């Protein structure tokens, strides 16, 4: 039982030929694209960058809040000194 030309034609309709396969991507073609591991690494790097920048922002906000508290304390002390001075000045003026 030998294979005839008709058999070869029928088989070529079922199976891909070399010309058909040229239209598909090769391993070398696919190397340009990122793998799942590459994307996971990139995701991890981006996440780390975001968290690091958030840490910097939160540190700066904490510094600002601390500065504001210190400023309010200093302002309160100045106010108390002013009241004390006004009282003392009023006493001195009353004596003169």
pLDDT digits (tens, 9 = 90+) for 14-30: 888 788 888 888 888 88
* b/e map 71-89, b = 16+ CB within 10 Å: eeeeeeeeeeeeeeeeeee
CA atoms 67, 73, 76, 78: torsion sign = negative
Q: What's the structural domain count of the chain?
A: 1
Domain that holds residue 30: 5-95
Alpha helices in 16-35 (DSSP H): 18-21, 27-30
What is the model's pLDDT at position 3?
Answer: 86
Q: How many Cβ atoms sit within 10 Å of the Cβ of residue 15?
A: 8
Which residue's entry shows tokens 């030998």?
2
pLDDT digits (tens, 9 = 90+) for 53-95: 999 999 999 999 999 999 999 999 999 999 999 999 999 999 9
First to last CA, the chain: 139
**If you average pLDDT over residues 23-51, what whole number do you get?**
91
User: What residues contact residue 42 under an 8 Å CB cut-off, 6+ apart?
Assistant: 34
Q: What one-character DSSP code corresponds to residue 1? A: -
């Amino acid at each position: 039982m030998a294979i005839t030309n008709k058999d070869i034609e029928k088989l070529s309709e079922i199976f891909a030929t070399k010309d058909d396969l040229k239209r598909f991507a090769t391993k070398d073609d696919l190397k340009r694209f990122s793998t799942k591991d590459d994307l996971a690494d990139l995701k991890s790097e981006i996440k780390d960058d975001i968290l690091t920048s958030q840490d910097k922002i939160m540190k700066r906000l904490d510094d600002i809040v601390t500065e504001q508290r210190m400023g309010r304390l200093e302002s309160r002390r100045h106010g108390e000194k002013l009241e004390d001075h006004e009282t003392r000045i009023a006493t001195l003026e009353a004596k003169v």
